[in-house]
């Protein structure tokens, strides 16, 4: 009798573990914050169209189409406004397709991904977590965390999960594109039309972003040229030396860097010096990065 009791207790303990393990579609090795899993999802009046069959190309194009707002400068080092970088879309697409194919009518797909966005030479890992589900002919994407900065050793077994839970996302502005719209009661959730031509939409958006980048570079170049040529070439100012008047070319006024840029540069220089003092970087690397920071001012 006692033996039977312990067997039942053991089964009761193991069974939930098996269920939880079965819900995890993919776990990135050595990074507990990057995974794809299924979780229970129930919302009043919502019927999930699960399981659902995506093709990898279709799902990739839909993820590639997600954009931040044009006016939002989220990260100074960002080169575009896509929510997910291509390498992470390519890496996780097959697991997301598998998750939707295995999802039950009461399960949503959760994707948690750490995107590494190094800042100068400093580590800058950003966590984004989304919950996704299909209703009718629409894909819903609920953004639980966006660009949350991970602090400390979030991969540690003892304290890692706490650091992941405490990571706070930045206040971002999502911008619906063609075939997309916000949910009725929140701008945290995007709804994508499954019948839209997503490969074409993604290609058009990439072309538009490239145009915006080129225009920004052109404005920057024109502003620089205008600054250099702002003073007349024959402008002179007089200076008296030993009783004689000497003509000295007038200097061109260069607008000073903003206080914010100077503060940002100071913080980066301080961090860079700390790394050098601790022996984490060489003198050569220090001087190189220092020059790059000063050049940006």
Q: What is the pLDDT along the chain (297 residues), one digit of tens a residue?
A: 555 545 444 444 443 333 344 599 999 998 888 999 999 998 888 899 999 999 999 999 999 999 987 655 444 444 567 889 999 999 999 999 999 999 999 999 999 999 886 554 556 788 899 999 999 999 999 999 888 888 777 777 777 677 777 777 766 678 999 999 999 989 999 999 999 999 999 999 889 888 877 887 888 888 877 877 765 555 444 544 444 554 545 444 545 555 556 666 677 777 777 777 766 677 877 787 788 777 766
DSSP for residue 117: -
**The predicted structure's pLDDT at residue 151:** 78
What is the span of the domain harbouring residue 95?
Answer: 20-213
For residues 24 and 159, state if they share a domain. yes
Residue 182, in any domain of the structure: yes
For residues 86 and 199, state if they share a domain. yes
Domain end residue (candidates: 151, 180, 213): 213
For residues 267 and 160, state if they share a domain. no
For residues 58 and 139, state if they share a domain. yes
For residues 72 and 165, state if they share a domain. yes
Rounded CA-CA distance 135/137 in Å is 6
Rounded CA-CA distance 264/260 in Å is 6
For residues 206 and 135, state if they share a domain. yes
Rounded CA-CA distance 85/93 in Å is 12
**The predicted structure's pLDDT at residue 262:** 65
For residues 204 and 133, state if they share a domain. yes
For residues 263 and 206, state if they share a domain. no
Domain end residue (candidates: 181, 213, 245): 213
39-51 b/e (C-beta count within 10 Å ≥ 16 → b)? eebeeeeeebbbe
What total of structural domains would you count in the chain? 2
Residue 292, in any domain of the structure: yes
Query: How many alpha carbons fall within 13 Å on the CB side of residue 4?
Result: 1
**The predicted structure's pLDDT at residue 294:** 76
For residues 284 and 194, state if they share a domain. no
pTM score over 0.75 = no
Domain end residue (candidates: 179, 213, 247): 213
**The predicted structure's pLDDT at residue 266:** 75
**The predicted structure's pLDDT at residue 162:** 77
Residue 185, in any domain of the structure: yes
Nearest residue to 180 via CA among 67, 90, 94, 100 = 67
**The predicted structure's pLDDT at residue 171:** 64
């Amino acid at each position: 009798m006692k033996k039977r009791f312990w067997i039942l207790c053991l089964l009761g303990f193991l069974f939930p573990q098996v269920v939880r393990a079965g819900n995890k579609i993919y776990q990135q090795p050595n990074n507990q914050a990057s995974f794809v899993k299924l979780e229970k999802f129930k919302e009043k009046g919502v019927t999930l169209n699960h399981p659902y069959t995506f093709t990898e190309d279709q799902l990739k194009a839909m993820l590639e189409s997600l954009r931040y707002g044009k006016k939002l400068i989220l990260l100074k080092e960002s080169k575009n406004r896509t929510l997910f970088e291509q390498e992470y879309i390519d890496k996780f697409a097959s697991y997301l397709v598998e998750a939707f194919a295995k999802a039950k009518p009461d399960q949503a797909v959760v994707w948690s991904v750490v995107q590494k966005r190094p800042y100068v030479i400093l580590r800058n890992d950003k966590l984004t977590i989304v919950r996704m589900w299909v209703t009718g002919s629409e894909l819903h994407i609920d953004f639980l965390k966006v660009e949350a900065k991970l602090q400390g050793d979030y991969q540690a077994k003892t304290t890692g999960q706490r650091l992941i839970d405490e990571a706070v996302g930045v206040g971002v502005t999502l911008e619906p594109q063609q075939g997309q719209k916000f949910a009725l009661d929140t701008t945290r959730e995007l709804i994508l039309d499954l019948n839209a031509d997503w490969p074409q939409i993604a290609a058009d958006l990439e072309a538009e972003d490239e145009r915006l980048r080129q225009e920004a570079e052109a404005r920057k170049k024109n502003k620089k040229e205008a600054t250099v040529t702002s003073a007349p070439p024959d402008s002179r100012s007089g200076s008296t030396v030993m009783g004689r008047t000497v003509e000295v070319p007038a200097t061109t006024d260069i607008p000073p860097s903003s206080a914010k840029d100077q503060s940002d540069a100071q913080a980066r220089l301080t961090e860079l010096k700390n790394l050098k003092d601790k022996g984490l970087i060489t003198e050569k690397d220090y001087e190189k990065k220092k020059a790059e920071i000063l050049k940006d001012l």
